[in-house]
Amino acid sequence: MLSQLGKHLRRRPQERSLPSFCNHLLFLLVAGRLALEDLGFPGVRQDPVGQTLFELFPRVSLLGDAAVLHDDDSERFREILPPFLKPSQNQIGELLLHTLGLLRAGVGRADSGRAVIERQLAAWGADTAGFAVRDGSGLSRHDYVSPETIVRVLDAMRTHQDFRVFYDALPIAGVDGTIATRMRGTPAERNVHAKTGTVDKARSLSGFVTTADGRLLIFSFLCNNFTVPNREVERVQDAILARLAGAPFLR
């Protein structure tokens, strides 16, 4: 499946093939993948985001003793991240969840991938009552995550060696991705890098905003079960971020 994913991304890099309804478990997926080298998995090399998954983990065999007739690698992970995060592509999230299970536990199933993510969250100090992982896209109504858990993930990414790759792959306010039309004409435009989370009666946004004096802040808005129109929830989120971006950090 990863080979076919690589072909799809090469041939149609601008295509947004499916509607996006992912929530913030995408953060957990990406953070869990980028943190694999910190878990001591055998075979990891020095530049994880600059290689394909099969280059990173040469000891993993997908075919057992079967003969390989053709091998077509996926794109490099740093090249997969933007078309994954910016349009919020559900299929890539599910593929990464199963890949995590295969690479870390030897079984490419959703439950194996969930276990990898849950262990990593616990290693980062997240309260086990603050998250429940069921799939890779976040579409399941049995996915739950608290703002505190999201902030812990983003803070762990902030100190990671590949933070800039992750940061640049996030949607940028007023520029691209799922927030391309939001916060335009405000100090938050081209400033906020954040991931949306959208299902029925849920509008979430989590990421990074830089204040007027250069302080990088982490935020997480998880809004659900509201009765007002969706655009009103987004308007409040955008207004808060515009205020944070346009003012110095309050000490």
The rounded percent of the chain whose pLDDT value lies above 90 is 39
Average pLDDT over residues 28-32: 53
Instruction: Give this prediction's pTM.
Output: 0.78
pLDDT at 201: 86
135: pLDDT strictly greater than 60: yes
Residue 42 banded pLDDT, cuts 50, 70, 90: very low
Cβ pair 98, 113 in contact under 8 A: yes
Q: How confident is the model at residue 19 (pLDDT cuts 50, 70, 90)?
A: very low
**By mean pLDDT, which of 98-102, 167-171, 209-213, 228-232 is the weakest?**
98-102
Sign, Cα dihedral of 67, 70, 75, 80: negative
How far apart, in whole angstroms, are the C-alpha atoms of residue 195 and residue 23?
8
What's the mean per-residue pLDDT of the chain?
79
pLDDT-derived band at 57, boundaries 50, 70, 90: low
Q: Is the pLDDT of residue 225 over 80?
A: yes
Residue-level pLDDT at 251: 66
Residue 100 clears pLDDT 80, i.e. is over it: yes
What is the structure's pLDDT at 133? 87
pLDDT band at 11 (very low <50, low <70, confident <90, very high): very low
Say whether pLDDT at 35 is over 60: no
As a residue count, the chain comes to 251
Whole-number pLDDT of residue 105:
83
For the ranges 28-42, 165-179, 231-245, which has the lowest average pLDDT? 28-42
Q: Tell me how far CA of residue 188 lies from CA of 20, 51, 106, 230, in angstroms.
A: 23, 33, 43, 20
Residue 191 confidence (pLDDT) above 90: yes
d(CA 203, CA 115): 27
Confidence grade of residue 242 (pLDDT, cut at 50, 70, 90): very high
pLDDT at site 7:
39
> For residue 243, is pLDDT > 60?
yes
Report the C-alpha gap between 240 and 233 in whole angstroms.
Answer: 11
- Dihedral pair phi/psi, residue 92, rounded to 5°: -65, -40
Inter-residue contact 193 to 207 (CB < 8 Å): yes
CB neighbours of residue 247 within 10 Å: 12
Instruction: Map out the domains of the chain as residue ranges.
Output: 18-57+72-162, 170-251
Long-range contacts of 55-63 (CB under 8 A, 24+ apart): 56/103, 57/103, 60/102, 60/103, 60/106, 62/102
Say which residue, 120 or 237, is predicted with more confidence.
237
Which of 56-65, 80-89, 181-190, 217-226 is predicted most confidently?
181-190
Cα–Cα dist 32/44, whole Å? 14
Is it the case that residue 1 has pLDDT exceeding 90?
no
Q: Which CATH number is associated with domain 18-57+72-162?
A: 3.40.710.10
**Is residue 229 predicted with pLDDT exceeding 50?**
yes
